[in-house]
Amino acid sequence: MRVFLTGGTGLLGTHLAEELRRSGHEVVALHRREADTLFLQEQECELVEGDVRDDPGTLVPLMDGCTHVVHSAALVYAGGAWPKIRAVNVDGTRNVLSASSMAGIGHAVHVSSVAVYGSVDGPVSEDSPIDSDIAASDLYARSKREAEDVARGIEAARGLPVSIVRPCAVYGERDRLMIPGLRKILRVPVVPLPGGGVNTIPAVYAGNVAVAIRLVLEAGEGGATYDIGMDHPLTQRELLGYLSEGLGKRASFVRVPAALVMGGALVMETLGISAPGAKHLPLSRVARLVLNDNPYQSNRIREVLGWDPPFGHREALGRAGRWSRDHN
């Protein structure tokens, strides 16, 4: 495969570029002029300068010779500015997939998010309805839902085979959002654990997500949707404990009652306060995520494509912690 990759300089994109190159595939990585492309150069990717906000006609020549596309570029947080998020996440999806159709691409993978399900109280799967009434303030989820509509619309209208993958919170080396946010929490002498930290949470390692996306690409069939919401079970306590190990520290914890956490989150949300490492999410949703068990089971991709995530969380969080410690 010769894969045209957007978002290649980001957290997931760098891991995907590495996985594709390791598996013998060519990667053509779209990047903005100011982006740091050193890692992509080390992976011997072909670099092309551009932006997902560019007109499709401008993007088509950059896809010359490519057989597949992975559209992973996305803006997670823009300080509450919907036009900025829409321009990248919605209009950018339209531009990239329209260009893919024009360039004769055989299969495109659009990276969405489990955020499209909205707030959930129990297990969900790809057959669960996505939230058609996402809060206007939840800009990221709203943009991802609209981008999925765009992707399926282009597939239907132009015959471009499109697969959609929906990861949950992704962490790993070169993480500039989640891991830095967790490091702030770990700075306190005793770390509060909502509900005791025994529940499983929706967080996946970027290296495992990259393997999943490679399998979707190699399957070569459009029309499918895959949740990537659980690689291995991970509790809050394990998340923070394993990360502390990677940072060369030892964390101490104290249990915080669930009712206190939820009540405090609702109050702080009204004051415009956001959670470290999750500024794009309403604080009440963050509270539910850290109090309830991970509802995203990822059974379809395991059963259909044989996804067997190679990295456990202790190893992966250790890697992420060491990278963060050494680069900040």
Q: Give the pLDDT score at 299.
A: 94
Over the stretch 76-94, which tens digit does the pLDDT of each residue have?
877 778 999 999 999 999 9
The CA distance from 169 to 205, in Å, is 9
Instruction: Supply the pLDDT for residue 136.
Output: 73
Name which of 1-5, 27-31, 61-65, 229-233 the model is least confident about.
229-233
Across the strands, what pairs with 47? 29
Compute CA distances 1 → 12, 23, 72, 171, 325, whole Å: 19, 10, 17, 26, 35
State the greatest distance between any 2 C-alpha atoms of the chain, in Å, as a whole number.
Answer: 57
Per-residue pLDDT, 67? 98
CA distance 31 to 5: 9
Task: Look at residue 43 and tell me whether its pLDDT is greater than 80.
Answer: yes
Cβ–Cβ < 8 Å for 138, 191: no
pLDDT at 164 over 60: yes
The pLDDT of residue 328 is 81
pTM of structure: 0.92
For the stretch 124-150, pLDDT in tens is 999 998 877 777 778 899 999 999 999
- For the chain, what are the domain ranges? 2-174+202-232+295-311, 178-198+235-291
Residue 278 has pLDDT above 80, yes or no: no
Give 47-87 pLDDT, tens digit per residue.
999 999 999 999 999 999 999 999 999 998 777 789 999 99
pLDDT tens figures, 283-314:
666 777 777 788 998 999 999 999 999 999 99
Band of the pLDDT at 277, cuts 50, 70, 90? low
Residue 144 corresponds to which tokens in the numbers above? Answer: 């991802």
Mean of the per-residue pLDDT values for the chain? 91
What is the DSSP secondary structure assignment for residue 278, as one 8-state letter?
B
Query: For the packed helices 139-158 and 91-102, what is the interaxial angle rounded to 10 degrees?
Result: 20
**Superfamily for domain range 2-174+202-232+295-311:** NAD(P)-binding Rossmann-like Domain (3.40.50.720)
Strands 162-167 and 225-228: parallel
Q: What is the pLDDT of residue 280?
A: 63
Is residue 67 within 8 A of residue 161, CB to CB? The reply is no
pLDDT for res 275: 65
For residue 324, pLDDT beyond 70: yes
pLDDT given for residue 276 in this prediction: 63
Compute the distance between CA of residue 183 and CA of residue 249 in angstroms, rounded to an integer: 11
Q: Which residue has the higher pLDDT, 328 or 22?
A: 22
The structure tokens 């085979």 sit at 161
